[in-house]
Chain A
Amino acid sequence: MPKDLEAEFLSDFEKNQNIAHKICRIYTTDKDAHNDLFQEIAIQLWKNYSKFRGEAKFSTWMYRVALNTAISLYRRSIRTMKTDDFSDVAYKISSTEYDDTEEKQLTALYQAIHQLNDIDKALIFLYLEDKPFSEIAETLGISNVNARVKMNRAKEKLKTILNPKTWIY
């Protein structure tokens, strides 16, 4: 591989790595597994980078490869046995006025997503990332109608888990 391609890849990935981190966080529950999946995503992205070049936006392409890796290819390696829960790590909210409501919501949201199955996780993730249905359907390889129906079911499941009574007063 030529050096400039590598440099381009590293800069693209470094800028967009947050997408991969978020995916790792919803598909794993501890730090070792998180880094393990992140590494597999990096391998898959780099392996296919020369084919991708310029076809679409890097981030759009990254959503697909990263989700595919999490759903289809990733197997937790033996060395990463389940340790302490990763969700204890604080994820801060960028709010000018400090308010912990959103932070609590975020923690609750991640915990709820962990209880969904792998496909529902992907659907909810793409919804939260504000992706259009056409892109969601294309990424997962299902029809638009199917994507809509599945999304509604996934959202209902998530709502049930989140249980509105705990925060609407």
Chain B
Amino acid sequence: MDLLDNYKKAWGNQVEIPCKFSALEIYKMAHAKSSSIVKWIFIIGILEFVLLNSLYFFMDMEEAYEEYKKMGLENFVFYSQIVVYAILFYFLAQFYLNYNQISTTDSTRQLMKKILKTRKTVRNYVFFNLSYLGLTMIVVTIASININIDQLNNKQILLVVFLMLIATIIILGLFWLFYQLLYGILLRKLNRNYKELAQLETEIS
């Protein structure tokens, strides 16, 4: 007899666990608020969306538009905003669909895949926003150099470009670090389990 068979027998003989819950207790529990990681990913995603978009409300758009106009960027701002909003709605739809598809009745691996996909969408959304911010910063730098090109010498132009690059890298880096931390903590266990489950599939194939 296999060593584990003895243990299996003991397992089969264990009686019902003493802390049984009544139907009423189960009812209360089933109606409580979930604290699953999927819910947290969803909440954080929504918060990111709202926060990043509400930034626009804090800026004086008219004044900014006048500034853009002076630099000859009104077309860039107008068309890029159309593209940005189209992409934004695409993300919003994706975001909802992903979240909606997550179901505990899937197989474990499928479920994990879907959670990781949701997280990827959120991450792509954030990277998209940050790249747009980066792009705007670069375009504005170039445009403002263009206007003042007569008053600036080569050294000063280089300095402006250099400072702008540093600022962009620092901002993007900070955001990256923040997300690594945030989702890293949330998904550490899931990533580990997913790797563990997927590991052999690649070994065999």
A residues in contact (CB < 8 Å) with B: 6, 9-11, 13-14, 17-18, 21-22, 25, 38-40, 42-48, 51-52, 61, 64-65, 67-69, 71-75, 77, 89, 91-95, 102-103, 105-106, 108-109, 117-119, 122, 127-128, 130, 138-143, 145-146, 149-150, 155, 158-159, 162, 164, 168
5 further A-B contacts with Cβ under 8 Å, apart from A39-B29, A118-B193, are A14-B22, A71-B193, A72-B37, A108-B7, A128-B7
Q: Is the CB of B29 within 8 A of A128?
A: no
Interface contact B31-A46, CB-CB below 8 Å:
yes
CB < 8 Å: which of A14, A71, A128 contacts B108?
A71
Size band of the B side of the interface? Answer: 35 or more
Given the known inter-chain contacts A45-B30, A102-B9, A119-B197, please indicate yes or no for A77 contacting B104, CB distance below 8 A: no
Is B122 part of the contact surface with A, judged by Cβ < 8 Å? no
Check B30–A106 contact: CB distance below 8 A. no
Residue interface bits B23-34, CB-to-A below 8 A is 1, else 0: 100110111111
Closest CB in chain A relative to B150 CB, distance in Å: 60
Interface hits, B83-135 → A, CB 8 Å: 103-112, 115
Number of A-B contacts (CB under 8 A): 177
Contact yes or no, A68 B200, CB < 8 A: no
Q: Interface readout for B12-25 with A: 1 if CB under 8 Å, 0 if not? A: 11111111111100
Task: Check if B105 sits within 8 Å of A46, measured CB to CB.
Answer: no
A68 and B108 contact, CB distance less than 8 A: yes
Report which of A6, A39, A159 forms a contact with B3, defined as CB distance below 8 A: A159
18 contacts between A and B (CB under 8 A): A13-B26, A13-B30, A17-B21, A21-B17, A39-B29, A61-B105, A64-B108, A67-B108, A109-B7, A128-B11, A142-B201, A143-B204, A145-B204, A146-B200, A146-B204, A149-B200, A155-B4, A159-B4
CA A93 to CA B16, docked complex, whole Å: 9
Among A9, A22, A73, contact of B30 (Cβ-Cβ < 8 Å): A9
The answer to the question of B186 belonging to the interface, with a C-beta cut-off of 8 Å to chain A, is yes
Q: Report if B196 contacts A (CB, 8 A).
A: yes
The complex places the Cα of A71 from the Cα of B190 at a distance, in Å, of 7
Residue from A14, A89, A158, A159 having most chain B Cβ neighbours under 10 A: A14
Which residues from chain B contact A64 at a C-beta distance below 8 Å? 104-105, 107-108
A103: shortest Cβ distance to chain B, in Å? 8
Residue of A with least CB distance to B21: A17
Chain B residue numbers with a CB within 8 Å of A69 are 36, 104
- Rounded to whole angstroms, the CA-CA distance of A140 and B193 in the bound complex is 11
- Name B200's closest neighbour in chain A (CB-CB): A146
Given A143-B201, A162-B7, check contact A14 B26 (CB 8 Å): yes
Contact of A106 among B11, B29, B35, B115 (CB under 8 A): B11
The CA of A149 and the CA of B15, in the complex, are separated in Å by 31
B109 near A141 with CB under 8 A, answer: yes
Best-surrounded residue of B14, B21, B189, B196 (most CB of chain A within 10 A)? B14
Quick one: given A18-B16, A73-B36, A91-B14, are A44 and B104 in contact (CB under 8 Å)?
yes
| Closest CB in chain B relative to A81 CB, distance in Å | 15
- Asked if B40 is at the interface (CB within 8 A of a chain A CB), the reply is yes
Contact, CB under 8 Å: A10 / B26: yes
| B58 CB → nearest A CB, Å | 32
Query: How far apart are the CA atoms of A162 and B112 in the complex, in Å?
Result: 30
Residues of B near A52 (CB, < 8 A) are: 105
In the complex, what residue of chain B is closest to A90 when comparing beta carbons?
Answer: B18
Is B148 in the interface zone, CB < 8 Å from A?
no
